[in-house]
Amino acid sequence: MLPAHWPETSTRLAINGPAGPIEAMVGGWEGTPALVAVVCHPHPLHGGTMDNKVVTMLERTFRDAGAATIRFNFRGVGASAGVFDNGEGEGDDLAAVVAQARAWAPEATLWLAGFSFGSYVSTRMAGHLRAELLVSVAPPVGRFAFRQLHRPPCPWIVAQGEADEVVDPALVFQHFARVQPPVEMLRFEATSHFFHGKLVELRERLGALLAGYRS
């Protein structure tokens, strides 16, 4: 049974989704939050879960910025029902999570974030879900159809490591250099896909930018 209000303590629960229950971790918040950040995890077929260290670091960064947070497992991951759907059904999962967040906090500003595959899903859905900020970490340009997506009508922060061994950094930088209006690009020298040894720097640099987006 879902609580009637935003949980006051951090709670692992099941949100109703299009393929069945969606396992989610909802960050505790006293009262009704004015700002909600939802974070999407990396590729389900390559070990991606909501407990990934980049995802949990993003969650902490958003909480530091004053947002209530939700991270969740896409269909077929952990206790979430369903099977992998190459980003399509995962977008529906994200929409269901956002719908639940809005049921608890109807007036809240929505921020979306994703790491790797999760950045593709959140980018694809940002306009539809009326996100007011999008954060993409190591977006897999070249692996998923970023070039076919419309640019979301919101501010967009992209964080990319220059030594990414999974996503081609050159493709990422080339793609986003052409995106208009421009994105806020955070480049990380000597940084791998999973930001080994650079998570604190990611938190600090992203957090400094987020402070400017608080309404």
6 inside domain: no
44 inside domain: yes
pTM of the model: 0.97
Tokens of 187: 């480049």
Please, which residues bridge with residue 187 across strands?
A: 160
Radius of gyration from C-alpha coordinates of the chain: 16
Residue (of 87, 90, 85, 86) closest to 74 by Cα position: 90
202 inside domain: yes
CATH of residue 146:
3.40.50.1820
Q: Cis peptide before 181, with omega less than 30 degrees from 0?
A: yes
Identify the pLDDT of residue 215: 55
1 inside domain: no
The band of 1, judged by pLDDT with boundaries at 50, 70 and 90, is: confident
Tokens of 50: 């909501």
Q: How many domains does the chain have?
A: 1
Distance from C-alpha of 207 to C-alpha of 133, rounded to nearest angstrom: 13
Contact status, residue 120 vs residue 197, Cβ threshold 8 Å: no
The band of 175, judged by pLDDT with boundaries at 50, 70 and 90, is: very high
Mean pLDDT of the chain: 97
The band of 79, judged by pLDDT with boundaries at 50, 70 and 90, is: very high
Decide if pLDDT at 165 tops 70: yes
Distance from C-alpha of 39 to C-alpha of 70, rounded to nearest angstrom: 6
140 inside domain: yes
3 inside domain: no
2 inside domain: no
Report the run of H or E that residue 54 belongs to, with start and end.
helix 53-64
Structural domain span for residue 132 = 11-213
Phi and psi at residue 35, to the nearest 5° = -140, 130
Decide if pLDDT at 214 tops 80: no
Rounded mean pLDDT of 29-43?
Answer: 98
Contact status, residue 100 vs residue 15, Cβ threshold 8 Å: yes
Identify the pLDDT of residue 19: 98
Residue 6 CB contacts under 8 Å (≥ 6 apart), including other chains = 26, 29, 31, 32, 33, 68, 104, 105
41 inside domain: yes
Ranges of H-type helices in 65-162? 88-104, 117-126
Rounded mean pLDDT of 102-122?
Answer: 98
